[in-house]
Chains A and B, each alone.
Chain A
Amino acid sequence: MDITRLTAMEIREKVINKEISSKEVVKAHLNRIKELDEELNAFITITEEEALKAAERVDEKIKNGESLGKLAGIPIGVKDNIITKNVRTTCGSKMLENYIPPYDATVIERIKAEDGIILGKTNLDEFAGSYSTESSYFGVTKNPIDTERVPGGSSGGSTAAVKAHEVALALGSDTGGSNRQPASYCGIVGIKPTYGLVSRYGLVPLANSLDVVGTFGRNVKDATLLLEVIRGYDEKDPTSMEIEGSSYLEKLKEGIKGMKIALPREYMNMDMDSRVKGKVMETVKLFEILGGHVEEVSLPHVEHYWATYYLIVVSEISSNMARYDGVGYGYRTEDYDSLDELYIKSRTEGFGEEIKRSILAGTYILGSKEGREYYEKAFRVRTLIKEDFDKVFEKYDVILTPTTPNLPFKIGDSIKNPFEMYGSGIFNIPANLAGLCAISVPCGYVDGLPVGLQIIGDRFKEANILKAAYALEEELALGGENNGL
């Protein structure tokens, strides 16, 4: 039996039934990482020693007949912008190359409390600020399906690691598609929860009003399992909320008979890769066969999504990046003669190009009269965008869209055409602007490359999108499938 081929659910079951030990599971995955990661570069830090110790504790619990957590023995990758106690957390930046946090993010505490095993920290675009995982100080991550292509981003290390069976589950973060776009590009399942469902305490902020922590798995059930563990109110994050309701896992099997499904006309009329559109339309038909009622709806402000998002995101980025000054922690330049020089040299040497451009843009927006006017305008348009969705969700349970308008692009292409890369998140950003939940689920391959379907749900109605994704997966049986490696 190749342990790395098991689903997260199967690993837990087999560990608890003593068919395999937790230590065997960890070793099998660490071997897989050693075999593949020199080429893929999905990980920045591998926590071999800690993982083996954690596995020993799980095996000890089993031996003693103690009760086990929901993630018992499951190997998990963590995006490197999520704080881990005593394990360096770099955010893919030279600025934090040697930063070793003295505390755990709430989501990490919850994973540990449920006996999950963290194998390491995964690569990302610097501070999670782009869409290809090419802007990391620690090098480009390759897509396991086609190593000449990007895995998407910014959570590309996590999605590549899950796809390549280096881990069974992973955490990511999503500010404007950073969970869904790379999940689509790597042919796995990625969940972006409702803003407030999961604590952001210990997630290094990119844009606080949009950021969420989300989960990845090779099938819907696995990704749901991890979401179930990390969700819920946290006193340390005042924007987090306690949501009543039963387990998502129990609801998955309810099916979608009678579900009201919306297909936004404006999205489908946008300029996109016809192969992606074709695959998505085939999948939409499947939902009707499965008993859903699909109807076209209007989401009129789509042409303003990008500008609205950009104005908000770069403004929040520039504010957040102001904390990196070379004094308290993070990179400090070696040579300086004044305080100003300390700041300028530390920041200039510590930040990469892409994040610098965002800081400059945000500084313009917040610091100039014209910029400030557009900033105010963006938040009003955001209200209109949210109202568009509120109206649709009065009548419909979920909205279907392509996750991305394109297929995974070649490494290096985004430098030639950054706007094409930014455009890859166009269907993702409204869920962040309106605080909705969404999932990307594989719906098939064209020319050997994966296509993802995005299912968007109303705020805190995760059960709807998970049910729909699960019904589709049952039909397509794509969940654990793989090609490439």
Chain B
Amino acid sequence: MISKEEILQLAGMCKLKLSDEEIEIFGAMFSNVLEQVKGLDMVNTEGIKPLYFLNSANKSLREDVAGDSLDREEVLKNAPEEEYGYFKLKKVMD
């Protein structure tokens, strides 16, 4: 079970605002998920190494040579607002 307070705390951590309906739907779904996840307790993983990444063995890094990168002007075209080559925001108080 996950409580409404816990869900609100989670939403705060990941910068989302949830409606009451969304809280309810997520709560019901995620409580069910947590039950299923508990099934992993049955698996004995003592002494088993975690597999975070495949293909991590025998990897050598490339030479650190500077190459072409994306053009600043091109990249900034996707910014909602930009000025003088920077991302622009409204004046905000924090």
Contacts and interface: CB of A to CB of B under 8 A. Distances in A.
Contacts, number: 154
Interface residues of A, number: 70
Interface stretch (A142-150, A325-333, A401-409): A325-333
Given A102-B77, A336-B90, A363-B14, A380 B50 contact: yes
B16 to A, nearest CB: 5
Interface range for B: 35 or more
A338 B94 contact: yes
B52 interface: yes
B16 A381 contact: no
Interface in A312-370: 318, 321-322, 325-332, 336-345, 347-348, 351, 353, 356-357, 359-361, 363-364, 367
Quick one: which of A235, A301, A307, A308 has the most chain B CB within 10 A? A307
Contacts of A310: 33, 36-37
A28 interface: no
A382 B16 CA distance: 30
A344 B15 CA distance: 5
Interface stretch (A56-64, A173-181, A275-283, A371-379): A371-379
**Chain B interface mostly helix, strand, loop or mixed?**
loop
Interface string A445-479: 00000000000000100000000000000000000
Nearest to B48: A380
Nearest to B81: A332
B66 interface: no
Interface of B: 2, 6-7, 10-11, 13-18, 22, 25-26, 29-30, 32-33, 36-37, 39-40, 42-43, 45, 48-55, 59, 61-62, 70-71, 74-75, 77-81, 87, 89-90, 92-94
Given A238-B61, A367-B13, 6 more contacts: A98-B78, A102-B71, A328-B79, A332-B80, A344-B16, A418-B29
22 contacts: A100-B77, A241-B55, A304-B39, A327-B80, A327-B89, A328-B79, A330-B78, A332-B80, A337-B93, A339-B94, A347-B15, A356-B16, A359-B16, A360-B7, A360-B11, A360-B16, A374-B37, A378-B40, A379-B52, A383-B50, A384-B43, A418-B29
